[in-house]
Structure 1
Amino acid sequence: MTIAPTVPPGQSERTDGARSGRLGALLRLRELPVTLALIALVVITTIANPLFLSPQGMKDLLLNATIVMILAVGQALVIITRNVDLSVGSILGLVAFGTGTLFANVPGIPIVVVFVVGMLLGAFLGAINGILVTVAKVPALVITLGTLYIYRGINNSWAGGTQYFAGDRPEAFGSLSVDTVFGFPLITLIAVVVIAIVAIYLNGVRAGRDLYAIGSDPDAALLFGIPVSRRVLLAFLFNGILAGLAGVLYASRFNSVGATTGTGLELSVVAAAVVGGVAISGGSGSVVGAAIGALLLTTITSALTAVRVDKFWQQAIVGMLILSAVIIDRIASVRTARKLRISEARDV
């Protein structure tokens, strides 16, 4: 005789509730829409052009996205605090040209030293942005728009008509963009490590979690004892470090660096972060989402090129994605605020 196991009253309901809760949490992830869009884009493009997902095609996709991914991670830190940094393209350009200068004028310089110098230069330039924003109390949009042109002007004056090419750098440095590990380019693996470290910082370290509080309500964060100015300054500093790292990797990835290196890149970086679910109004989003947004935007360009779509439509589609991301974020914010008001009314 077999005795059927008995289920305590209410346990089945609790189990179903837990499952529906987990499903609801999954569906509410800000990274989910951009991830699904990326998957759909890859599948559709592969059907149209089977060579799109060839080993070389995959390598090119990752290489094209790596620099923007690192920059988008740093930009996410700043946007979460309700700020923005438009100077990252100019910082990258300065560091990239500085990298070429080091290799050309200091023979035998260790590659590790070049990385350290590039990140320190990026940190210095990012700190200038942070100090101006926190001390002058001027909107970051205005400050970094100004430093964008200042840093670009410095690079133009420094570089002039000089360019450094692949032959001016050590072979081992250029190999960072050529060599792979299990099919993944080395510089992409560097980007993955960066994403993991920053994600842990944002979610597992109090200083990182404070950035969300600042972005949600700076005045309330100040009342709760959060050092708002210091945290915002650190966000700009870390963003500068990552822009410096991206500048060094840019010099490894591309055949030449000069006065115009990085021009216009800041717009793609901000777009990647916003499309990846980082709210432009601050207080929400993740660096993982920003990285996926960067991968989506670069994949769109590659996909449309693979199916021979005009470049104008590539830019138009990216613009529509940005608008869609902002509209979706606004709708989600309104719905959340409405639910909060209803909940407060019920409690009263």
Structure 2
Amino acid sequence: MDVSNLRNVLSLDSGTAALHPDEAVYESMLGSWEQQQRSRSLADATIESRTSTVRNFGEYAGTYPWQWQASDLEEYTSSMRSKRLALSTIRQRQGILQVFCNYLISPDYDWVEICESQFGNTPSQICLPWNTTKHVADYEGRPARRALTFDEIQTLFDYADSRVESSIREGRKGALAALRDAQMFKTAYAFGLRRAELRGLDLHDLHRNARVPEWERYAAMHVRWGKASKGSVPKRRTVLLVPELSWWIDGMRQWVDEGRALFSPGDLPALWPTERKTRVSLEYIDRRFTALRREAGLDPALTLHCLRHSYVTHLIEYGYADRFVQEQVGHQHSSTTAIYTSVSGDYKNRILADALGRFNTLELT
């Protein structure tokens, strides 16, 4: 319902009151705000998430937006902190409420006038500099989350392969799914992919590279579902396979040539099909990685996204230039790539030894 239609429903000019004017105004506020966001070409998922946050806060406060006060936000924030929500989540929700309040009090819209006329009260900005969470650090993720070491990567993938072998040997169901999952997680690491990027891969996203013709179609990966900027479509990039990770090719070739067809995907182009001829879900990817990590005896703090951190870290340790790594993972800013990097002590010692060697050579000359 837009603002012009709302006037008719409330009959503000004629003096006829709607049966539930408060609910009508509230729903129209949200609907009009959604239209404004669509006009900015924001994704439907973003709009739905924002609306859900506003509704959640309204339910917590127990009042309508023209009755909200700064103290309501402060109590809501305390509630979120008591639930141990991440700092970034708290700040995101506060930011959404701030944007919504700015929309309501904007002179470009009539919400202040409508609320004043109908309820004798007006909406205000409740998210203020002194009661909202500031962004004071580049990285606010959980400290326990980190890149996997080379040994941990080996342990994880060895265990994933062993599950396939044991299922086949014991004649148990699930061998094919285990093969798919093993190759799927190896692909996430070998190309530094995000979860949605991994899920969205199709067969035709496998590409050649003229520099390494012997790798055939397994030399590069075209990523079409990269993280989008606000108001834009998903970003695309092509990630090149690096020589140090070329061990990935044999397993991927086996999956494409033999394993995938056993799911009978038909016309489905997905690289990771299911028995139901659909793509694996994001929830399934998370669930399977968690199970593998736990069964392999690895640190519980490690998540699927840690494979992406590992990819960045290991490429830096292999000696690849920062700009190359940034392009590979699709980061707009080099500072973001730096956050992902957590090089090992051995690597830093090697860099220091090289620097000392160069320094000593200069002194001798």
Taking structure 1 as the reference length, the TM-score comes to 0.25
Q: Which structure has the larger Rg over C-alpha atoms? A: 2
Which protein is richer in helix relative to its size?
A: 1
